[in-house]
Amino acid sequence: MKVFCVAEYRFDELNPLSIELLNLANQIKGDGSSEAVVIGKDVGKYAEELAKYADKVWKVEDDSLENYTPDLYVDVLLQLIEREKPDIILVGNTAQGGEFAPYLAAKLNAPIATDVVAVDVSDGVKASRYLMQGKLMVDLKLKSTPCVLTIRQGVFKEGTEVGGEIVDAGIKPSRESKRKFVSYIEPEVGEVDIAQADIIVSVGRGIEDESNIELAEELADLLGGVVAGSRPVIDNGWLPKDRQVGISGKVVKPKLYLALGISGAFQHVMGMKDSELIIAVNKDPEAPIFGVAHYGVVADLFDVVPELIEKLKEIKGA
């Protein structure tokens, strides 16, 4: 198999997921090759990092590629893919990769599977992925090659160095991008930095209403911690954006992460899975959060939290 891996970088840093793509490529290439593609204005530095893990690194450089646009990424990738004919194209399942990969697939008339966590090439190309927010898994067969797979971060961390060559692909965009990059916007900074907290009481959809945030705040105060939340709580405006735990919010590693009414979607779990102690309370015994927690309680948080508050008050009063 010839496996292409499209690299990603931002703010001067290669996304570690790019190396994970190469680890996967090296696992499945057989007597083929792992080939990274890095696109931009001046990508030599990234190419060198990638070359450690790739048989070959294709550099695609042009001034117009300084900032990512799906239009031009797809344009140059189509040219290179038509010339080099890879069997599989791996892309990170990120804000960037998740955007241009389906576009690329449609232009190639190629099957695509997104957010993939396992790949099997023993009989055609098969990919495994979650659905139903992590509650089910499916094995898919992609009916033809080339095919496109976007890969979940953190799955293919193990790999060995290969040490390959860096080649200028000699490809330029064939047109201007219709979509223009304007600017990056920095995250808002709030009063509390949850990434610095030792104890986090985190609430999800199960908190049900804005007025119930108080309950979490009371518990957090007694524990000497701060309140954070998962996406639905932030979307509803019940907590500010800088309190969001997850890929699109903050990554936290407190001593205690108490997850109340949080189902445990992957996007959230990636923001808290390295916490030292994770305790989850959820009504749903099948909630994926119990797959990452050290201790779990299947219960209504409104039954457990008031009891916990009472007992903590007794201890503090004593």
Partner 1 sequence: MKIIVLAKHAPDPESEISVASDGKSVSQSGLVYDINDWDRYAVEEAIRIKEDKGGEVVVVGVGTNCDDTLRKCLAMGADRAIKIPVDTSFDAYTTAEVIKEAIKDEQFDMIFAGLMSQDLNNAQVGVLLAAMLDLPVATAATELKVEDGKVIARRELEGGYLEEVELPTPCVITIQSGINEPRYVSIMGIKRAKSKEMKEVSVSPSISTLEIEKMYLPPVKKAEMIEGDPSQVAEKLIEILKERGLI
Binding positions for partner 1, 110-139, rule CB under 8 A = 110-115, 126, 130-139
Binding segment toward partner 1, per CB under 8 A, in 40-48, 58-66, 159-167, 186-194: 186-194
Matching residue, tokens 């990554």: 251
Binding segment toward partner 1, per CB under 8 A, in 37-45, 82-90, 106-114, 207-215: 106-114
- Residue 172 CB, nearest distance to partner 1 (Å)? 20
- Residue 165 CB, nearest distance to partner 1 (Å)? 31
Matching residue, tokens 């936290």: 252
Q: Which is nearer to partner 1, 44 or 190 (CB)?
A: 190
Q: Of 232, 239, 257, 260, which one interacts with partner 1 (CB under 8 A)?
A: 232
Three-state secondary structure call for residue 136: strand
79's enclosing H/E stretch is helix 70-84
- Tell me, by CB under 8 A, how many residues bind partner 1: 95
Of 227, 212, 239, residue with least CA distance to 306: 212
In the window 189-208, what residues touch partner 1 (CB under 8 A)?
199, 205
Going by the DSSP 8-state scheme, the letter that residue 50 receives in this structure is H
Residue 185 sits in the site that holds partner 1 (CB under 8 A): yes
Q: What is d(CA 19, CA 22) in angstroms, rounded to the nearest whole number? A: 5
- Residue 272 CB, nearest distance to partner 1 (Å)? 14
Pairing between β-strand 2-6 and β-strand 33-40 as defined by DSSP bridges: parallel
In the window 256-275, what residues touch partner 1 (CB under 8 A)?
256, 263
Q: 281-285 long-range contacts, Cβ below 8 Å, gap at least 24?
A: 281/305, 282/206, 283/206
Residue 180 sits in the site that holds partner 1 (CB under 8 A): yes
Residue 223 sits in the site that holds partner 1 (CB under 8 A): yes
Residue 142 sits in the site that holds partner 1 (CB under 8 A): yes
- Residue 145 CB, nearest distance to partner 1 (Å)? 11
- Residue 173 CB, nearest distance to partner 1 (Å)? 14
Matching residue, tokens 């094995």: 139
Cα dihedral value 288, 292, 297, 302, nearest 10: -70
Contacts of residue 61, defined as CB under 8 A and 6 or more positions apart, other chains included, come to: 39, 40, 41, 42, 43, 168
Strand-pairing partners, residue 207, are none
Q: What is d(CA 21, CA 16) in angstroms, rounded to the nearest whole number? A: 9
Q: What is d(CA 64, CA 210) in angstroms, rounded to the nearest whole number? A: 46
In the window 271-300, what residues touch partner 1 (CB under 8 A)?
277-280, 284, 286, 288, 290-299
Residue 184 sits in the site that holds partner 1 (CB under 8 A): yes
Q: Of 235, 240, 274, 313, which one interacts with partner 1 (CB under 8 A)?
A: 235
Q: Which is nearer to partner 1, 59 or 152 (CB)?
A: 152
Q: Which is nearer to partner 1, 186 or 209 (CB)?
A: 186
- Residue 233 CB, nearest distance to partner 1 (Å)? 10
Q: Which is nearer to partner 1, 58 or 290 (CB)?
A: 290
Strand-pairing partners, residue 118, are 128
**End-to-end alpha-carbon separation of the chain, Å?**
68
Site string for partner 1, 47-76 (x = CB under 8 A): ----------------------xxx--x--
- Residue 24 CB, nearest distance to partner 1 (Å)? 19
Peptide bond into 146 cis (omega under 30): yes
Q: Phi, psi at residue 19, to the nearest 5°?
A: -70, -35
